[in-house]
Structure 1
Amino acid sequence: MKKYIYKILKSLDKLESNIAFYPSIISLFGLVFAFFMIYLESIGISKYLVENAPILVVNNTETARSLLTTFIAGLISIMVFSFSLVMILLNQASSNFSPRVLPGLISNRRHQIILGIYNSTLLYCIFTLVSITPQGDKYQMPGFSVLLGIIFMTFSLGAFIYFIHSISQEIQVNTIMDKIFKKSKARLEKLVEAEKHTDTRFEDTSDWKPIMSDRTGYMQDVSLKAMAELAEDHNLIIEIVPIKGAYILEGIPVLRYKGDVNDANDDIEDDKELEEELLATITFSNNEIIEDNYILAFKQITEIALKAMSPGINDPGTCINAIDYLTELFALRMRKKDQSFYFNEDDKALIHINTVSYEELLYNVMAALRTYSKHDIIVVQKLFIMFKYLLQQNNVLNENYKEAIIKEVINLKKDALNNHNNERDIELIKSYITKLKNVNPSDHNFEV
């Protein structure tokens, strides 16, 4: 039973994240409201308003037909123009920044709501136009509905103006990076806050019973609460083998567990059914979402920086801005431990979650930046400033993180000296190494 509940909840989450979800809901509202107004017109609301508040009724048939026809044609034109702008935005973002940023731009909820406003107004105007009686009797004509159509069209024009403003902001690289940064920061802060500050370790899990993946895709998210409930019900301890966001192939182990399944107290009767329940708590997807995986933010911001340093674009300023965002994210990541566990209410570790270590994350980012930016002394200078800031975070700087930073400083120093022959540039590089040594001279050794 739990397995089907998990699947339903996952299906609802996927449905809400679909680009057509909010436009469809708003459009349905417009359609239902159109039929509701037709019903009100059939019981004489326009006739009542003509007698008591004539200013609220459009009682000329030709005027009403002309207005509604114009609204319908205009809304279709606005929708086509808006769609064209979105395509231009996506094409430019893919070409100038990174294809990875496209899901975030497509799923912009404000743009989905605006599309829903357009479509709901269009449907309302169409059905209101159809409801106008051919006799031309002013009491039978939906005069009040036509007035509401004018109001809805005014809202649509306001939404169109806002859309133009929003789309002009969305295409700016600083706006894109800022959104990526804020989503990742929120996710990291949530993980840090939920982390238990106790030293916990699992035994060697290589001989635990594995559960193989029954599908292929990115491991987008795991319902830890549901998995923990199963673990408690069956006296299990569980390890999540892949790192969240990894691409999973069918038939490779995604979970390992240890415990006595025969102690079950619910409807699960054998290992196979238990494994299906556990697999149901894992969400697979063809897309990667920052809200579920903060590592993706490091990838996206790094790719934007690399794209900016390509010969075709040659925009070191954007690369420097990207390093500023990466600096703050790395400083925040230092507050999180490399080992992650999920605890029950009794502070017992039930689930071990494999994560990307700080050293691996820092190396992957720096390996790409060093490869494409080592020739630019301004970018190299900014990277040294980033390392200096990270080494100054003494309140969260443990030995493993410190060693990882020192390794990358040495790598950057080596690549920078090998790619710069100008004496002034070499002097600048050495001066930053001296500054880094002075941060904590007894602990740091930056000799290549």
Structure 2
Amino acid sequence: MITPRKIADNYREMISSIGFYPSMLSVLFLTFALITTAVEYSDPAMSVKKVLSVLLVDSEENARTILSTLAGSIISLTVFSFSMVMVVLNSASASLSPRVLPGLITRKSHQLVLGFYLGSIIYTILMLINIRTIGNGNMGIPSLGIFISLVLGLISLGFFVYFIHSISRAIQVDNVLNDLFKNTKSELNSIKAMQHEHPVDDFPNFDDWYSIKSKTEGYFKGAHSDKLCAICKEHDIKIYISVKQGFFTVKGYPFLKCDTDLTDKPELIDELLACFIFYIEEYVSDHYRYGMTQISEIAVKAMSPGINDPGTAVKAIDMLSILLILRLDIYDVNYSLKQCDDNHPKLFLHETSFDELLHDNFTPIRNYAKNDAYVMVNVLEAFKNILFRASDNEKATKSLFIYLGAIIEDIDTHISNEYDREQITNMLKAIARISEQQGEKLLARFTSNNQ
């Protein structure tokens, strides 16, 4: 039995399907075709036909030929367009990252074009079967409907040109990276703006709160914050989500904390747990971390022997450095102001820390590019830029230098060319000018191994 809760749980799966909008548009065009058929021979429609008489078909043979040609042509466009989508998805998975596929599939522009094709086919076929004898041997020709079918066919040709242009751009790595960067940056800026506009001066001590265990397993991807905050306000409780988005939970894992002991309120616990979302796909709109992960994976894929595109890897590294700089301005604990009074939030969220982002996004790049001096020099330059902006953040600076130590260890082991090591030494000198004490230690550690 389909329940509202089940529909809500499967909402993301439904709207991310490549057939969602085409199905909706097909139903819409079917309804439009039935309405057109119903009013075809009404007095207002006959008046319109007199005005457009020079554009209307008055022959049964011509009507069938035109409608059959339109239906067959649009079917061909649809088949070719769907084939192009499959080619793009396979190419994106092979040359970019499988994680970017959900973003490509859910592009509304592509789904709307495919939906318009299907709707036009349905409309044209209904007009074709509506040619019938109406009495005294006369044929009833839905000339107004045929004219609309012809217009839909012409629009489909325009959409086909747009679709080819759009789908060819969608697979270009620069466009994929730029879209990911723009969307991830927008998510970071929205969190930053909210926290700066409504700052929280003092966060509770979550260690003293009561744990609530998960009753399902899967990747935690978010919560219905409106509903969750409303429940918190109704029962006068506060909730802290103690795991980051994307964390894999198992049954019994205490991923929630509450300031009130709810052990004797199992129904309230079930109501709270029903607000959380678990699914596989990663969408940038859910959390900026997913966008950064996809950018990092594109950089790693670019360094693979089959692709060998260090330029793309360097561009991805530069984007990651900018996003990490933006992350410095965000609290380590995020919160929602929905249903709250006087900037006292009732829902707190564990924000992915700067250390976690640094490790998760640069470790794969470091491991796959440690033999490439060009890429590693640009990694050091990215860290130099982050250090420049993080100079007043002692915790972040410490994390950066700890990670730089790991980078230098890899470089020292895998890069032996004297010229390449000199370029790395120059970059370390630039880092030392930003943070003299720690930078000099790092430089001394590397240069001592040169001797």
TM norm structure 2: 0.90
Q: 1:232 to 1:6 in 2, by over 3 A?
A: farther
In structure 2, the partner of 1:266 is none
Asked whether the 8 Å contact 2:243–2:255 carries over to 1, the reply is: yes
Asked whether the 8 Å contact 2:212–2:255 carries over to 1, the reply is: yes
Q: Distance in 2 between matches of 1:51 and 1:295?
A: 61
Q: Which residues of 2 match residues 12-411 of structure 1 at below 5 A?
A: 15-43=14-42, 47-49=46-48, 51-134=50-133, 140-195=140-195, 196-203=198-205, 205=207, 208-259=209-260, 271-342=265-336, 344-394=340-390, 397-411=392-406
In structure 1, the partner of 2:448 is none
Q: Distance in 1 between matches of 2:52 and 2:302?
A: 62
Q: 1:138 to 1:151 in 2, by over 3 A?
A: farther
Read off the aligned partner of 1:223 and give its amino acid letter. Answer: H
**Alpha-carbon distance, 1:115 to partner:** 0.8
Q: 1:46 to 1:235 in 2, by over 3 A?
A: closer
Q: Does 1:423 align with 2:418?
A: yes
SS in 1 for 2:331: coil
SS in 1 for 2:411: helix
**Alpha-carbon distance, 1:13 to partner:** 5.7
Identity of aligned residues (%): 33
**Alpha-carbon distance, 1:356 to partner:** 2.0
Asked whether the 8 Å contact 2:15–2:106 carries over to 1, the reply is: no
SS in 2 for 1:219: strand
Read off the aligned partner of 1:389 and give its amino acid letter. Answer: N
Q: 1:148 to 1:108 in 2, by over 3 A?
A: same
SS in 2 for 1:236: coil
Read off the aligned partner of 2:242 and give its amino acid letter. Answer: V
Q: 1:351 to 1:54 in 2, by over 3 A?
A: closer
Q: 1:321 to 1:421 in 2, by over 3 A?
A: same
In structure 1, the partner of 2:432 is 437
Q: 1:150 to 1:446 in 2, by over 3 A?
A: farther
SS in 1 for 2:436: coil
**Alpha-carbon distance, 1:10 to partner:** 5.5
**Alpha-carbon distance, 1:341 to partner:** 3.5
- Show CA shifts across 1:303-335 (max 9, x none): 111111111211111111111211211111111
- Show CA shifts across 1:385-439 (max 9, x none): 11121122158x4111111112222222222122222211111111111011112
- Show CA shifts across 1:185-214 (max 9, x none): 111111112225444333253x64332222
Q: Report how many aligned residue pairs link the two structures.
A: 436
Asked whether the 8 Å contact 2:401–2:438 carries over to 1, the reply is: no
Asked whether the 8 Å contact 2:133–2:139 carries over to 1, the reply is: no
Q: 1:51 to 1:189 in 2, by over 3 A?
A: closer
Structure 2 gap segments, 5+ residues each: 446-451
SS in 2 for 1:392: helix
SS in 2 for 1:259: coil
Q: Distance in 2 between matches of 1:237 and 1:327?
A: 35
- Show CA shifts across 1:158-208 (max 9, x none): 111100000100010111111111221111111112225444333253x64
Q: Distance in 1 between matches of 2:122 and 2:355?
A: 55
SS in 2 for 1:424: helix
| Deviates most, 94-103 or 185-194 | 185-194
Q: 1:129 to 1:242 in 2, by over 3 A?
A: same
SS in 1 for 2:188: helix
Q: Distance in 1 between matches of 2:433 and 2:370?
A: 24
Read off the aligned partner of 2:432 and give its amino acid letter. Answer: K
Asked whether the 8 Å contact 2:217–2:249 carries over to 1, the reply is: yes
Read off the aligned partner of 2:278 and give its amino acid letter. Answer: F
Read off the aligned partner of 1:162 and give its amino acid letter. Answer: Y
Asked whether the 8 Å contact 1:433–1:446 carries over to 2, the reply is: no
Asked whether the 8 Å contact 1:437–1:445 carries over to 2, the reply is: yes
Q: 1:71 to 1:426 in 2, by over 3 A?
A: same
Read off the aligned partner of 1:203 and give its amino acid letter. Answer: N
Asked whether the 8 Å contact 1:121–1:149 carries over to 2, the reply is: yes
Q: Distance in 1 between matches of 2:403 and 2:441?
A: 10
Q: Distance in 2 between matches of 1:300 and 1:394?
A: 24
- How well do the aligned residues superpose, as a CA RMSD in angstroms? 2.5
Q: Distance in 1 between matches of 2:155 and 2:226?
A: 43
- Show CA shifts across 1:220-244 (max 9, x none): 2123343333333333232212211
Read off the aligned partner of 1:391 and give its amino acid letter. Answer: L
Q: Distance in 2 between matches of 1:390 and 1:65?
A: 68
Q: Distance in 2 between matches of 1:159 and 1:181?
A: 28
Structure 1 gap segments, 5+ residues each: 263-269
- Show CA shifts across 1:249-287 (max 9, x none): 22322212132669xxxxxxx511110121122112232
Read off the aligned partner of 1:202 and give its amino acid letter. Answer: P
**Alpha-carbon distance, 1:443 to partner:** 6.2
